[in-house]
Amino acid sequence: MASEAGNFGMFIGNYEQLRKIAFRIRQAALELGVKRIVVGECGHAWRVAYSFWNTLTGVGDGADPDDRFAQMLQKQLDHRYKQPAHICEFTWDMIQQDQLVFDKSKNDQRIITFHDSCNVARGSRMGDYAGGQFDIPRNIIKSVANHYFEMTAGTTHEKTFCCGGGGGVLTDDLLDIRVKGALPRMEALNQLVQENGVNFMATICAICKAQFTKVLPIYGFDRKMVGGIHQLVSTAIQLGAKS
């Protein structure tokens, strides 16, 4: 378990930092003796895990046979499960296996849409089929909430708009650029607000959440309008409902 999933080496385009941060994950996994590695709601963290952890750290296929620590990790992990897994894959698997109980009405105060984060939508994948990174997050939302609306075609999935804070510009010194970069998404969101009363935009990237929290008020929206998918899961889940 880590308090920060992000790999800011990729965020700033520094390979050595990317590698160093990835090695920290491997060291922790070996020290803790973990059987599964699950990555949370962070776009560049998942992109690094999905695309680079196999050769960098030995998680997943392609571990260096000459890297004894990578081979140690390969032997330690439970390969009945996907390694690594995105938290949405983990949750969706549990939902499909009927291991979780939800009261969808607990989210009825929320009228929800979903923002596809760039590093997930265009730079990685979920599940075992093309497009899983689009379907799985939406399937989870629809499993835990009654009111969901999709943004206009051409603004989501592989054609998603950047939140405006990607590519290393998430600093207040560049707020003017961030506000301008967010405009296309804000226009698509505003359309749903006007037509369907949407009041919650879910996303699975910490950078997107940080960016929207800052720029939503500038466009006249409540900063609390953005949140994570697992925020919705935690609201609807009925703990102790299954023995």
pLDDT, tens digit, 9 for 90 and up, residues 170-197: 889 999 999 999 999 999 999 999 999 9
Sign of CA dihedral 56, 57, 63, 64: positive
Helix (H) or strand (E) holding 124: none
- Given this model, what pLDDT does residue 66 score? 86
Distances in whole angstroms, Cα of residue 141 to Cα of each of 108, 121, 123, 131, 149:
12, 17, 22, 16, 11
Distance of CA 207 to the CA centre of its chain: 10
pLDDT surpassing 60 at residue 2: no
pLDDT surpassing 50 at residue 213: yes
CA distance 149 to 128: 25
Q: Taking the domains of the chain in order of start, what are their residue ranges? A: 8-83, 101-236
- For range 226-231, the mean pLDDT: 97
- Given this model, what pLDDT does residue 185 score? 97
Tell me the whole-structure pTM to 2 decimals: 0.93
- For range 64-92, the mean pLDDT: 92
Distance of CA 51 to the CA centre of its chain: 15
Question: Angle at CA 112, nearest 5°, toward 82 and 41?
Answer: 30
Helical H segments across the chain, by residue range: 8-11, 15-32, 43-57, 68-76, 87-96, 118-121, 132-144, 175-196, 206-215, 229-236
**How does the average pLDDT of the chain come out, rounded?**
93
- For range 62-84, the mean pLDDT: 90
- Given this model, what pLDDT does residue 3 score? 54
pLDDT in tens, 149-175: 999 999 999 999 999 998 888 889 999
Radius of gyration over every alpha carbon of the chain, rounded to an integer in angstroms = 19
- Given this model, what pLDDT does residue 56 score? 86
CA distance 119 to 163: 11
Distance of CA 99 to the CA centre of its chain: 22
- Given this model, what pLDDT does residue 4 score? 64
pLDDT in tens, 45-59: 999 999 999 888 888
CA distance 42 to 182: 18
- Given this model, what pLDDT does residue 59 score? 87
pLDDT surpassing 50 at residue 87: yes
Percent of the chain whose predicted confidence (pLDDT) is above 70: 97
- Given this model, what pLDDT does residue 119 score? 92
pLDDT surpassing 60 at residue 1: no
Q: Give yes or no for a contact between 41 and 228, defined as CB atoms under 8 angstroms apart.
A: yes
